[in-house]
Amino acid sequence: MNEGEVGGLADDLVRIHRAISRGFMVAADASHSFARNGFDDEELKLGFLNYVRAHVAILAAHHRAEDEVAFPRLRERLPEAPYDTLLAEHRHMEPFFEQMRLAIADIRIGKHVKESLEVLVYALNMNRELWRPHIYQEETHFNAEAVNAVFEADEQNEISQAMARCSQQNAKPDSLVIPFILYNLAPADRAGFSAHLQPVLLARMNEEWKGQWRTMKPFLLP
């Protein structure tokens, strides 16, 4: 799938993977830099913490949407995919989510900041090493050709919408996670993802939520 190419369920999966993959890279690099050099100011620190908080929330919610929504539906018609392995890999990543949440909480109150940043570097890199082969398996088994062969377009849209609802229920706050996804995507992919969002959410992001997520801008794409 080329950036921005609009398609079905397989393409939606690739888009969210791209946003999360960039989140891993940016968060790990920034954690390493701040562990060595500290924060220039409190607003940069807040933006960084908001960015990593959103990253963890989206990753955890994405896995839950796959576990509870996508995999049960896909298993019915694509039974050869390694579902048990994929589910186990989700479980293997979870302890690192908690390490990151605890590190974020400590950095926020100024407790063991350098050590907590080093924990973030470790947890992000360990999780990213699991993530890369994991999404390769997903994108290989659930590619557009395979999915289109067994699901009609309306069925794929139904699954995508159900996954989006599950993710939105579990990835909070909306004021950070929606901008995180959109602005970790290149503009063409951003437009494709925006097509699935309710107009009211986009309006709120650009108006009442702007003061909350603007702190993340140093870590986001323009």
State pLDDT tens for residues 152-199.
999 999 999 999 999 999 999 999 999 999 999 999 999 989 988 889
What pLDDT does residue 1 have?
A: 36
Instruction: State the Cα–Cα distance between residues 175 and 210, nearest whole angstrom.
Output: 8
Residue type, position 167, single letter: S
Phi/psi for 123 (5° steps) reads -65, -40
Residue pair 220/179 in contact by the 8 Å Cβ criterion:
yes
Closest listed residue to residue 61, CA positions, set 85, 90, 39: 90
State pLDDT tens for residues 141-157.
999 999 999 999 999 99
* Alpha-carbon distances of 16 from 79, 99, 102, 183, rounded to whole Å: 23, 23, 25, 11
Please give the radius of gyration of the chain, using alpha carbons only, rounded to the nearest integer.
17
State pLDDT tens for residues 8-23.
999 999 999 999 999 9
Angle at 206 between CA 203 and CA 207, to 5 degrees: 85
Residue pair 176/53 in contact by the 8 Å Cβ criterion:
yes
State pLDDT tens for residues 42-65.
999 999 999 999 999 999 999 999
The verdict on whether omega for the bond into residue 199 sits within 30 degrees of 0, i.e. cis, is: no
Instruction: State the Cα–Cα distance between residues 186 and 164, nearest whole angstrom.
Output: 20
What pLDDT does residue 7 have?
A: 58
